[in-house]
Structure formats: structure tokens, C-alpha cells
Amino acid sequence: MKTARWNYAVPVRGPLVTAPLVFFSILAAIALALSVWRLFGGLAFTGMNDDYAIGVWKTFNVMTLTALGSSALAVGMTTWIFNQRQLHVVMRAALTSSILFYGTGMFALGFDVGRPWNFYHVILPWNWNLHSALLEVSVCMTAYVAIFLLYENLPAVLPKRWFDRIKPLYPYMVAAAFLLPAMHQSSLGSLMVIAGTKVHPLWQTQMLPAFYLMQAIVCGFASLIVILIVACLAWKRPLDVPILATLAKFMAWSSIVFVVARYADVVIRGRLGLAFAPDWYSVLFHGENLFVLVPALVLLSERLRHIPRVLFLGAAATAIGGLVYRFSPTTLAFRYGRSSIYFPSTEELLMCVGYIGLAIALFILVVRRFAILPDRVSEPDRIPD
Amino acid sequence: MSVSRRDLFRTIGTASATAVVASLPAAAAETRTAPADALGLLYDTTVCIGCKACVAACTAANNLEPDTEMSGGIWQMPTDLNAQTKNIIQLYRSPDGAESSFMKRQCMQCVDPACASACPFSALAKGKFGIVEWEPSRCIGCRFCEISCPFDVPRFEWAKFNPKIVKCELCRHRLPEGLQPACTEVCPVGAVVFGTRADLLREAHRRIAANPGKYYQDRVYGEHDLGGTQVVYLSHVPFAKIGLPEVGNESRAHYGEKVHGVVYKGMVVPTVVYAGLAFLMRRRFKVHEDEAAHHNREDQL
């Protein structure tokens, strides 16, 4: 695999219609067709019921996958606030993947809620219930995707002279684009706090909002590393290992903070015994932590984190651990110890997968035509931005 | 450029600061109390004969289609609260058969309801007489009321194009006509009675005092449990056996709002954080822009 210092974002170009695009488009088409059907048929075809009232569209597409869509938050904060200027070159990839993860998640949410036509209350502040974590998520996530994340993505798609007109807003918009996801990513954790004893005590804690946010940061780094490596392999671009290693270093330290805080929380709440109980919950608990902690310890080594294979496996394992953690309170550790479980129906799963397929298909289309992915280019190929 | 040690410590510092903010003490979460005219029910397991007249009356009074699925369409036979059943009589029997009890389930009309705290646009909220009311025009069908309710009461019309949340509202449509809830009206033995919460609690304590040792722990369930409920229970078997969770006196809403309430109180924390971020961003933006221009000049662009 070639390596080089990335210096500019360059379109992939090439034919628009390719086998992978067709594959992901078919997944998306199936999901869209089922979504239209769902509008007329209600939600009875899903695996959800009154005991397990939230299913994968909410718990996976939104509450779990927006962690992968938090690259714009994690890498953006690192670039701007922690002054890692060299990361500017990967920001467009982070912003594009973020808006697609969030956008398709919110799309899924539109079909999950039973009475979506009443969602207009989100723009009527006098109808807001400020005690509700879900209100916070609704308002904040909508505003983030529709205004701030969209604005951040404009430089990649708008002609420069158009964007220059709204450029003076940039610092204020970006500051909001850090605050809002920090708010709603933590509120996603608050959602399950009010479920109280329905969530297994290893997961139920007042720290859920903090943990969900930490995991958004961790997964934000992890997903960008994975996406960049996969994209470079797919389109035969050189890898900029030092940039990826920088991302991995931040990911490793945030992972360690998360795991330490999580064990500390369990000890302080006096629930450590449950972590060693002979059941699947303790296995799940340690599994989530080890998938995040082991890669972090490996990637602390300067030498190891400059090996692309280690970077990829480390980031992928971290993302898996993080995603399972975000999935557990709503599903795996929800209504624990019962004989019944929630399992999504086939149609429900096809829609869940299809929305992800939609995000991937759009990503492929966008990076082919717009300057999103980083590359090493010599002068004649450069697109001034 | 590599990551300096100082930057890393700053990153960690930010994460820990977030954690500290998130675990501030519970000071801001308010403790709610029942309104003076709070109405409710008192159900006494030692009186109930399990005739289910209340189940049929409830269905009729609320214009619900009787759930006849289990009986093959012959008679009303719900197995649990559901989108057609706002009130149900269930039977608890211990494995050895020595102990048994009927149990009436419907909305508990919590003093501090978790559903109302979780509901984003207050479609579920405490209304007149402390009854937890559902307002269709505000409901987006998110079902977080079902996730948050400690008694698993709210139900959702899964099969409907325009689904409603179904739960007991203490027959609030009958009260202005001077009628009492259908269940208490038809109960032939007075196992469930209607009244103000204060009167019901007084009556419950009178029964306990008159019959020492008859009732479990000589206690009224719902007087303090989960922040208090307006529907209260007397039982001869442990409350947990008949589906009343023994999880302390703090309401779910109070527990859930501890952190959220502090962080979002008056939007002070978000505003301060935004001001800090915007200040830093303005400085960084200028520096990074100048650098980019310089970098482009070096590249003769």
C-alpha cells in the first residue's frame, strides 16, 4: 500500500454507476419501498410491541449509528479547539459521513414514530416539554442536521464565491456545530435514564449521558479512520499514516477515559459484583469495555499505530465495542432477566440495513463528484478551495 | 505535526469536565406533590371477587372494541392491558397454590408521572384533578411513555395508520356529568372505590387500623412509592407479587431529571459553553485562515 502526505481533497471521479453503488442502491430501494408500505400499514409488522416499544430504527439507526456520525464533532473539536491544523485535510470526509449518518438516521426516525405529522411542534417552543430528554434530542438533532452540519458541508459543494458571502458566520456556526451534538449525543443517554430499573444496573446510571457522549467521541474517531482506510483501498489512493495515527492517538486516549470512567462508575455505585455474576450481562459488560480498551492500549504505541493494518483493526474493534455499548441500554440490557426478547422482523431489519445502504450509496456518489476525500496531488490537479 | 502532551491533557480535561457537569448533585430536580383535589382509586385485593365487571364496564364507557382474541371471538378475554383494554383484572397464584390474589391494573395517575416527563411535547400531562391526560394533537407516537412508565401502562395501536396512545384517564369524560369512573360504579363489592386521594388514603389507613395483620406490611402502596400515585392499593400478598414494583419512593421523573434538569436549567450551561466555544473558534479561525493563505502562497497558488 502506497503512503504519502495528503494535501488536498480531490474528487474520485470515474463512472458513477458501479457494482457497489448498484448493490447499496438496491438495499436503499427496498427500504424506501417498505417505508412507503409502512405508512399505510402501521407498525404491526415490526418486532416491536408494548413491552419492547422501541426497535432498531430508533435504537440502532439513531441512538447507535449517530455515534459513528460524530466524526464532525470529534475530529472538528480536535482540529479547531485543540489546534490540530494538520487534520483540516480530513475534515470534509468527516463532515460528509456525519451528515449522511445523521440524515439517514433521522429519515428512519420519521418512519418509526407513529404520528409524524405532529412533529411540527418542534418549531413551536411554547409546546416544548423542557424536562424531556427526547425533546432535547428532537430539537437539537433537527437543528444540527438542517442548519449547522449542512452549513459546514457547503464549502465542498458550493462554488467558492458563493460560500464567501456566508463565510463570516463560520466561527459562530462551527461553535454551534460543536455544542449541539455534544448536547444531543448526551441526551441520547438521558433517554434511558428515565427507564429506571428496566435497564440492567450495570448500564443504568446517572452517568449515561456522559458515557454516550464519550462514546460518540471515541466512535467519531474510529469511524473516520475506518472510512478513510476503506476509501483509500477502494479507490487506490495513498494512505497518510501520520494523520491516521494522530486520529488513533486521540481515539486511544478518549477510549481509556471512557473505560476508566465506566469501571469507576460501577465501583462507586457498588455494582461491581454484577460485573462478575455468572450471566451474559457481565460478559457483555466486559466485552464492550475490552473491545474499546485493548485497541486503545495497542495504539498507545507510537510504532504500532503507524502500521495501517493495526490502525484499521484497532479502529474497527473500537467502533464495534462502542456501537454495542450504545445499543445495550436500549435493547440488550433492557428488560433484563425476562424470558421474552425483542427481535426485529425481517422487514424491519431490511429497512434498518437499507437506510445504512442509502447513506453508503450517497457517500459513493458525493465523493466521486465533489472534493471530499483527501489525496496527495501535484499542482496541475489541484482544485483551489 | 504531532500531538503534544499538553493537548492530550486538555482533551482529557474536557472529557472529565463534561463528566463532572453531568454528575452535579440532584439539587435542581423538583419534587412534585399531588394537587389538593387529586382524584384516584383505592383497590383492595382482599375484597375483589374477580368478576371482571369493571373490565367490561371500562370497555363500554371508553368506546373500546372488546378484546375477544383469546376466546375465538366469543367473549371479552384480554390477557394484559392493550390497545383495546385500559383496565384489567389479573390473577396471581403462588407456584404451590397456597397464596393467590386478584389484581386490578390501570393507569396509576402518578403524582410525578414518568410518562409526562419523558413526553417531548407534553401530549401526556397532568390535567384537572391530577389526572394524566393524553392530548392527540401533541403526540408524535414516539412511545417513550411506554419505555418510561414503571407500571407498563401506556399502550400503542401498533396496527393503526393513525395510532393512539391508550391508557386509563379515570373516565375524565364522565366526571363533568357527575358520574364516577365506570369501574368503581359497577364494582358489586366495593373492591375498587373512587374519591379524592386524601380521602382514599384516610380510608385505607382506617382499614389497616381496623384489621391489624391483614394487609401486607400494614402499608398503602402508592402513598409514597415512586413519588406517590393517585391510585392506591391494599394487598394481602406482597405488592411485588401482583406487579407493583418495590423500587423505592423516588419518582422516575425525579431520577430522570436530576442531570438533565441541572444541565438545561435556564439554558445556563449550554450558553456558557457556546460562548467559550465561539470565543475560541473566532481566534482559531483567523490563525488557521492566515496559515492557509501563507501555505497557498508558498505553493504559488
Q: What is the pLDDT of residue B267?
A: 86
* β-bridge pairing B165-166 and B155-156: antiparallel
pLDDT of residue B25: 44
Interface test with B, best of A194, A212, A385 (most B CBs within 10 A): A194
Q: Is B243 on the interface with A (CB under 8 A)?
A: no
Task: Find the mean pLDDT for residues A191-217.
Answer: 96
Q: Are B274 and A148 in contact (CB under 8 A)?
A: no
What pLDDT does A359 receive?
Answer: 97
Q: What is the pLDDT of residues A245-277, one digit of tens each?
A: 999 999 999 999 999 999 999 999 999 999 999
Distance CA B57, CA B192 (A): 13
Q: Residue B264: what pLDDT? A: 86
Angstrom distances, CA of residue B4 to CA of A140, A253, B10: 33, 13, 10
CA distance B181 to B194: 7
Interface contact B156, partner A, CB < 8 A: yes
Which of B117, B121, B250, B284 to probe the A interface (max A CBs under 10 A)?
A: B121
The pLDDT assigned to A250 comes to 97
- Is B281 within 8 Å of chain A by CB? yes
B143 sits in the region (left: phi over 0; alpha: psi -120 to 50; else beta) called left
Least Cα separation, residue B8 to chain A (angstroms):
7
Of B158, B288, B296, the CB nearest to A43: B158
User: Does the CB of A40 have a partner CB in chain B at under 8 Å?
Assistant: yes
Nearest alpha carbon to residue B141 among A121, A217, A30: A121
pLDDT at position B19 over 90: no
Give the pLDDT of residue A61.
96
**Partner A contacted by B75 (CB < 8 A):** no
CA–CA separation, A83 vs B109, rounded Å? 53
pLDDT at A338: 85
Across the interface, whether the CB atoms of A206 and B245 are under 8 A apart is answered no
Average pLDDT over residues A84-93: 94
Q: Inter-chain contact A207–B247, Cβ cutoff 8 Å?
A: no
Stretch A315-332: mean pLDDT? 97
What is the number of other CB atoms lying within 10 angstroms of the CB of residue B44? 22
- Asked whether the beta carbons of residue B161 and residue A183 sit closer than 8 angstroms, the reply is no
Could you tell me if B135 lies within 8 Å of chain A, comparing CB atoms?
A: no
> B53-95: per-residue pLDDT in tens?
999 999 999 999 999 999 999 999 999 999 999 999 999 999 9
Which residues lie across from B166 on neighbouring strands? B155
State the Cα–Cα distance between residues B288 and B277, nearest whole angstrom.
16
3 state SS of B3: coil
Tell me the percentage of chain B whose pLDDT exceeds 90. Answer: 79
Is B295's pLDDT higher than 80? Answer: no
Return the pLDDT at A340. Answer: 83
Alpha carbon B85 to its chain's center: 18
Number of A–B residue contacts, CB under 8 Å: 239
Is the CB of residue A376 less than 8 Å away from at least one CB of chain B?
no
Model pLDDT, residue B294: 73
The residues near B63 (Cβ < 8 Å, ≥ 6 apart) are none
**Residue A305 corresponds to which cell in the numbers above?**
499505530
Instruction: Count, in order, helices (H) and strands (E) of chain B.
Output: 8, 9
Nearest CA distance, B153 vs chain A (angstrom): 9
Report yes or no: A359 and A100 within 8 Å, Cβ to Cβ: yes
